Amino acid sequence: MVGIFFKKQKFGSALLLCAGLGLACGGPAPEEYVHQLKSSQKVERTKAANQLIRFDADEVVPLLIEEADSGYIRVRFEVVSLLGRFKDERGVPTLVTALKDKSPRVAAAAAWALGQIGSPKALPPLLKYVRDPTVEVRQYVLGALGPCHSYEAEPALSDSAFRVVFRALRAPKPKWRIAALQSLRAYGYRDAVQEVIRMSVDPSNEVRYVAVQALGQIGHAQRGKPARDAIYEALVVALDADELQSIRDKAIHALAEVGDTRAVPHLQRLMQEGTEEDQIAARLALYKLSPQVAEAMRATELGAK
């Protein structure tokens, strides 16, 4: 009886596992979900894609590669997006081909997917599209160059990609500047301190947000005093002058990440005069930079109540 009980328990657990995963044990096979990618209803395609990503790559990636030349733009878009989500190098040749798709949406998704995989094999074809006239395609190509570069595999091409990315920090479109800055992270923001500081006062809100975030990352790793001083001053400017709450929050977090205690008085002022969001972010940063000051201010607040 005890043996039968344990067999029943194991069988019940297996059923629960299958129900929770929605995969095997009588559930739809990957082929059925791939077929569902042809649906004209976006919600159905999204459901199918989210189910496919739960299967093993060995089951799904070959099926996706077979569908990559579908006559339906919507299918090709879902296929290249899923290949990026799987991050499987077997998809690289298919994605490289998709860079020249007649649909800019598919080509942009292919560039994004190559960036997700990060294969050095994708770098040469990506470099051919760095001047693509479509805003979205060029955006994702620029964003993929950093993740795909490898000095071990392709030193000369990596340098070429770096120069492209660095120049794009001054590109006319905000999306291109943002993509270049994000791509530059894979190069450790090499030689880019002054450029990123310049971007922290960019006319575009989105560019300033990403630049301020990058300054925190650079400052955390920066050892040279002049560079750290310049980063600190730029973050204080963002803290005091930027009208957007999200950017001030990012500047507060970045100052804490840099670890410069000169920021303490600025954070104290925000604790007293800033918005509610400023105060919350400043308190967290103060606890990281100077726990004693944060505790003293907390005690004063409690005493006043």
Q: Look up residue 230 and give its two tokens.
A: 């310049």
- Rounded to two decimals, the pTM is 0.85
pLDDT at residue 289, as a whole number? 87
Which CATH fold topology does 39-187 show?
Answer: Leucine-rich Repeat Variant (1.25.10)
Q: Look up residue 292 and give its two tokens.
A: 């004693």
Q: For 37, which DSSP code?
A: T
pLDDT at residue 223, as a whole number? 64
Please indicate whether the domains covering 39-187 and 200-305 agree at the CATH topology level.
yes
Cβ pair 140, 112 in contact under 8 A: yes
Amino acid code (one letter) for 26: G
- Angle (CA) 109 85 67, round 5°: 65
Which one, of 71, 73, 75, 82, lies nearest residue 35 by Cα? Answer: 75
What b/e string do you get for 26-37 counting C-beta neighbours within 10 Å, with b at 16 or more? eeeebeebbebb
Q: For 27, which DSSP code?
A: S
pLDDT at residue 57, as a whole number? 97
Say how far apart CA 213 and CA 200 lie, in whole Å.
Answer: 9
One digit per residue, the tens of pLDDT, for the chain of length 305 reads 434 433 434 434 443 444 444 444 557 999 999 999 999 999 999 999 999 999 999 999 999 999 999 999 999 999 999 999 999 999 999 999 999 999 999 999 999 999 999 999 999 999 999 999 999 999 999 999 999 999 999 999 999 999 999 999 999 999 999 999 999 999 999 999 999 999 999 999 999 999 999 999 999 876 667 888 999 999 999 998 889 999 999 999 999 999 888 999 999 999 889 999 999 999 999 888 888 766 766 656 655 55
Say how far apart CA 265 and CA 275 lie, in whole Å.
Answer: 16
Which CATH fold topology does 200-305 show?
Answer: Leucine-rich Repeat Variant (1.25.10)
Which one, of 2, 67, 69, lies nearest residue 30 by Cα? Answer: 67
Domains of the chain by residue range: 39-187, 200-305
